[in-house]
Amino acid sequence: MELSTFLQALITGILMAGIYALVATGLTLIFGVVRIVNFAHGEFVMLGMYVTFWLWKLWGLDPYVSLLITMPLLFCFGVLIQRFLFQPILRAPDLAQIFMTVGLSVILMNVALFLFTADFRSVKVPYGEWAWRLGGVTVLLPRLFAFLGALLLAGVLTLFLTKTDIGKALRAVAQDREVSMLLGINPNRMYLLAVGLGAALAGAAGGLIVPFFYVFPTVGVVFVLIAFVVVILGTLGSVQGALLASLIVGVAESLGILFAGSDLGLVVVFGILVASLIFRPSGLMGSR
Amino acid sequence: MKKIDESRRRFLKGTLGIGVGAALTALPRGVRAAAAKDVNVAVMYPTSGSQARFGQMCVNAIKIAVDDINNAGGIKALGGAKLNAIYADIQSETTVTRNQAERLMATGNLAAATGCYVSTYTLVATEVAERYKIPFITGSVADKLTERGFKYTFQVSPKASHFGQLQMEFAAKTAGTGKRVAIIYEDTDYGTATSKGFIDGAKKAGFEIVMTEPYTAKFTDATPLVNKIKAAKPDFLFPVSYITDALLIIRTMKQLNVNAGIFGGGAGYIIPDFYRDMGKDGEYVFSAASWNYDLNCGDVARFAAAYEKKHGEFLNEHAGEAYIMMWVIADSIERAGSTDPQKVRDAMAKTNLTKGPGAAMPGCHVEFNEQGWNRQVHPVILQWQSGQLRTVYPASDSKVKPVWPVPTWDKR
């Protein structure tokens, strides 16, 4: 095998990791703080993609510029979801919570199907096909942008969580709800914030994906499956863990396709997941 | 007391009468027409669900066919009776297909039925039709359809296994210098079955197979797969794909500058959406098909233009066949001189159309063998040229020549 083929696979894997990280960070944030596994997270991404698509289609707004609209919009959407759908079932048994988020996922998917039909749509931007050729290796620029965007957002989120008072309060609620209440934090507000941020990140992921992927009502499923693997591998609730795990998953998938076969990329990914559940059940960032 | 009773009865009678009258006028036109001895034909396509796009195109074409047939005087042998299509949405689900078929065939008073685009659904629907002894005509391609010993199934289209053979034959004839072949296919039934035809055909044509690779169509990135194709350095690529995977693979090939003649396997490669989405990058892509709107045959040009005028996009392969099949049905009923499905079936088995819209399949001849397959038909090879989908092989069916070799990405 030529070296360039291997390098190409490696770079592709790293770039794929960026998108996985964005989807997974939102998911892990919601779980970490609110303790709800959001099975509708893929549909949040789908909504982000449709918002970006329509902004471009109707007003010619560049997908990267429209992040400034998509993210606040999805933030509000997340807040509403938390207030009216998640809040009432916070103390309900796990099963009820699963039904709620799975039901929400099905509803969002079908509403999109009804409103936008099953057509595959895509955004045409001049940079959609830009590529850097370095020797035998090609770097696809929209994917690089998405990767850099993901890094930037993850960095901002980490700073927010560690350096600001609100961020610290958010983490306090995640660590211990009762104690944080003693310290004068209103956990319900923090929950609103967490789900809002998680949804905004999903919206950002959608916006960054649109320049190189198709938009259709069931597109969320494609991304959320991997995101769950990433979140579990990187310890539920840990943002840094999600970043590290998405890198592992992206590279494993890409190299798996190269060495094992194009139908086996996901097999390698899930193989790693199973191995980690056996040897390190609490994930990369877990205590054990 | 008695008086009140009587007046109430009269009042009730009156309202009842009004009610029935209202109900009658409220009946959909189709049902009232059926009461006037028109000819019912069940039209079963998926117009919702994953295959909705394809099913909708077929239904659009059939509506035009029904109008054309009725405007031309309907069924003359039955005193100008009108054709009445009963549309059933099979929702891209096998269970729904079975239920709809049962419902229509048990109660529908049908002369014939047609559908369902996707072979899987057609296999189910034809099973029900066989039981109810109602002739079912289809443009689906699965070989199995007319190889089960069924008496009521008719297939106007070429069979799946013929596509791979013709693709390879065409590649071998046009190729000149090319010898290296890569075959990639999505790893469900459809891809696996179709790829077998490609592999056999490639061996027969004396090609060197440098890559056969199944892949999962649900990828988020085609780069790893295209990277492998690049490493294998093929002259020809035969992808068997659905639609998003096809589009992503071709886009990524351009980005990674992988140059190989692309020979798609029908479906997503030859619908209007393909070029709408790919733009110039869709240029020069080949695909096998069972029909095309520019065939050298009868009045294809007329009804293809009528469809394009009405729907703003070209008449696609399966929709074209759907149109033709309505004329084959009309011809059978005409010769049967009856709406009795048994008589229509016997007439359909003796179909021998060589002119008119009913004969407009490749080969310009519709004649069924004892299995119910149109033995005069063959697949054709199409190529996207300047935004038009053109038939390029066999020469007898084509108006233009294939463009080969395909220019490399950087020279376009």
Domain that holds residue A169: 3-225
Residues of A in contact with B272 (CB under 8 A): none
Please give the Cα distance from A110 to A118 (Å, whole number): 10
Judging contacts by C-beta atoms under 8 Å, the chain B residues touching residue A265 are 216, 219, 224
pLDDT at A232 over 60: yes
In a domain, B372, yes or no: no
B262 forms bridges with which residues in the sheet?
B237
Q: What is the pLDDT of residues B271-301, one digit of tens each?
A: 888 888 888 888 999 998 999 999 988 889 9
* Alpha-carbon span A42 to A19, nearest angstrom: 12
Sequence-distant (6+) residues with CB within 8 A of B132 are B105, B106, B341
Asked if the model's pLDDT at residue A11 lies above 80, the reply is: yes
Same domain? For B279 and B338 the reply is no
Q: Is residue A242 part of a domain?
A: no
Q: Quote the CA–CA distance of A250 and A269 in Å, as a whole number.
A: 8
Specify if B13 maps to a domain: yes
Number of domains in chain A: 1
Torsion B155-B157-B159-B160 (CA) sign = negative
Output B133 or A238, whichever has higher pLDDT.
B133
A-chain CB neighbours of B257 within 8 Å are 133, 138
Examine the pLDDT at A250 and tell me if it is beyond 80: yes
CB-based contact B153:B372 (threshold 8 Å) = yes
Is the per-residue pLDDT at A50 higher than 90?
A: yes
**B259 in a domain, yes or no?**
yes
Phi, psi of B58 (to 5 degrees): -65, -45
* Domain range enclosing B166: 161-289+380-411
Q: Say if B188 falls within a structural domain.
A: yes
Query: Which residues, 6+ apart, have CB-to-CB distance to B190 below 8 Å?
Result: B240
Q: Are residues B264 and B406 in the same domain?
A: yes
- Look-up of token digits 């620029």: A141
Summarised one tens digit per residue, pLDDT across range B102-138 is 999 998 799 999 999 888 899 999 999 999 999 999 9
Residue in the structure block whose two tokens are 């000819």: B39
The verdict on B132 and B202 lying in the same domain is no
Contact B227 A9 (CB under 8 A): yes
User: Where do we find the tokens 């289209």?
Assistant: B157
Whether B212 has its CB under 8 Å from any CB of chain A: the answer is no
In terms of Cβ atoms closer than 10 Å to its own Cβ (0-12, 13-18, 19+), residue B23 is exposed
A174, HSE (Cβ side, Cα atoms, 13 Å): 22
Q: Has residue A18 been placed in a domain?
A: yes
Q: How far is A254 from chain B (nearest CA, A)?
A: 6
Tens-level pLDDT at each residue, chain B (412 residues): 444 454 445 444 444 444 444 444 444 444 444 444 799 999 999 987 778 888 999 999 999 999 999 999 999 999 999 999 999 999 888 999 999 999 999 987 999 999 998 888 999 999 999 999 999 999 998 888 999 999 999 999 998 888 888 888 888 887 666 789 999 988 777 777 778 888 888 888 889 999 999 988 778 888 889 999 999 999 999 998 877 788 889 989 988 889 888 888 777 788 888 888 888 888 999 998 999 999 988 889 999 999 999 999 999 999 999 999 999 999 999 999 999 999 999 999 999 999 999 999 999 999 999 999 999 999 999 999 999 999 998 988 988 999 888 888 888 7
- Residue A269 belongs to a domain: no
**In terms of Cα–Cα distance, which of B343, B363, B342 is closest to B352?**
B363
Q: How far is A222 from chain B (nearest CA, A)?
A: 6
Quick check: helix, strand or coil at residue B252?
helix
Structural domains of chain B, count: 3
Residue carrying structure tokens 């596509």: B163
> Do B214 and B353 lie in a common domain?
no
B220–A120: do the CB atoms touch at under 8 Å?
no
Do B64 and B124 belong to one domain? yes
Q: What is the 3-state secondary structure (H, E, C) of chain A?
A: CCHHHHHHHHHHHHHHHHHHHHHHHHHHHHHHHHCCCCCCHHHHHHHHHHHHHHHHHHHCCCCCCCHHHHHHHHHHHHHHHHHHHHHHHCCCCHHHHHHHHHHHHHHHHHHHHHHHCCCCECCCCHHHHCEEEECCEEEEHHHHHHHHHHHHHHHHHHHHHHHCHHHHHHHHHHHCHHHHHHCCCCHHHHHHHHHHHHHHHHHHHHHHHHHHCCECCCHHHHHHHHHHHHHHHCCCCCHHHHHHHHHHHHHHHHHHHHHCCCCCHHHHHHHHHHHHHHHCCCCCCCCC
Residues contacting B13, CB < 8 A, separation 6+:
none
pLDDT of residue B296: 87
Same structural domain for residues B261 and B386? yes
Q: List the single best residue of A138, A147, A254 to mutate versus B (max B Cβ within 10 A).
A: A138
Helix axes A187-209, A41-59, angle to 10 degrees: 50
For residue B256, the distance in angstroms to the closest alpha carbon of chain A comes to 6
For residue B177, the SS3 value is coil
Residue A81: inside a domain: yes
**B243 touches A: beta carbon within 8 Å:** yes
The verdict on a CB contact (< 8 Å) between A253 and B223 is no
Note the Cα B249 to chain centre separation in Å.
24
Q: Which two tokens mark A197?
A: 């941020």
Interface mutation target, options B213, B228, B254, B280, chain A, most CBs of A under 10 Å: B228
Mean pLDDT of A105-127: 86
Residue A256 domain flag:
no
Q: Are B331 and B273 in contact (CB under 8 A)?
A: no
Question: Distance between CA A65 and CA A109 in Å, rounded?
Answer: 26
Distance of CA B211 to the CA centre of its chain: 30
pLDDT in tens, A52-77: 999 999 999 999 999 999 999 999 99
**How many interchain CB pairs under 8 A, A with B?**
88
CA distance B395 to chain A (A): 34
Would the CB atoms of A5 and B256 count as touching at under 8 Å? Answer: no
**Within a domain: residue A243?**
no
Angle at the Cα of A97 (from A92 to A103), degrees rounded to 5?
140
CATH number for position B356? 3.40.50.2300
Complex prediction ipTM: 0.76
Rounded Cα gap, residues A107 and A83, in angstroms? 18
pLDDT tens digits, one per residue of A166-195: 999 999 998 888 888 888 899 999 999 999
Contact B213 A5 (CB under 8 A): no
Does an H or E element contain B383, and which? strand B380-385
Contact A215, A50 (CB under 8 A): yes
On whether residue B205 sits in a domain, the answer given is yes
Give the pLDDT score at B107. 82
Is B374 part of any domain?
A: no
Both B6 and B44 in one domain: the answer is no
- A residues 129-188 near B, CB within 8 Å? 129, 131, 133, 138, 140, 143
The pLDDT assigned to A144 comes to 93
**B398 shares a domain with B281:** yes
**b (16+ CB within 10 A) / e for A163-187:** eeeebebbebbbeebeebeeeebeb
Q: Do B320 and B174 share a structural domain?
A: no
Which of A12, A120, A254 lies closest to B243 in CB terms?
A120
Residue A74 and residue A47 in contact, taking contact as beta carbons nearer than 8 Å: yes
Distance from CA of B48 to the nearest CA of A (A): 9
Q: How far apart are CA B25 and CA A91, in angstroms?
A: 56
Contact residues on chain A for B225, CB-CB shorter than 8 A = 257, 262
Cα(B406)–Cα(B412) distance, rounded to whole angstroms? 10
Q: Same domain, yes or no, for B27 and B135? A: no
Residue B375 lies in a domain: no
Determine the pLDDT at residue A121.
85
> Does residue A76 sit within a domain?
yes
Give the per-residue pLDDT at B74: 93
pLDDT for B176 = 66
* Rounded-to-10 torsion of CA B300, B301, B303, B308: 130
CB contact under 8 Å between A226 and B220, yes or no, is: yes
| B206/B120 same-domain check | no
Distance of CA B310 to the CA centre of its chain: 19
Residues 6+ apart with CB under 8 A from B340: B111
Please tell me the predicted confidence (pLDDT) of residue B32. Answer: 43
Instruction: Measure CB to CB from residue A254 to each of B218, B224, B254 and give the nearest one.
Output: B224
- pLDDT on residue B20: 43
- Give, to the nearest 10 degrees, the angle between helix B317-336 and helix B341-349: 110
User: Which of A2, A226, A261 has its CB closest to that of B213?
Assistant: A261
Taking only residues 207 to 266 of chain A, the set having a beta carbon closer than 8 angstroms to any beta carbon of chain B reads: 213-214, 216, 222-223, 226, 253-254, 257-258, 261-263, 265-266
Is residue B95 domain-shared with residue B201, that is, in the same domain? no
Residue A160 belongs to some domain of the structure: yes
Alpha carbons A85 and A108: distance in angstroms, whole number: 13
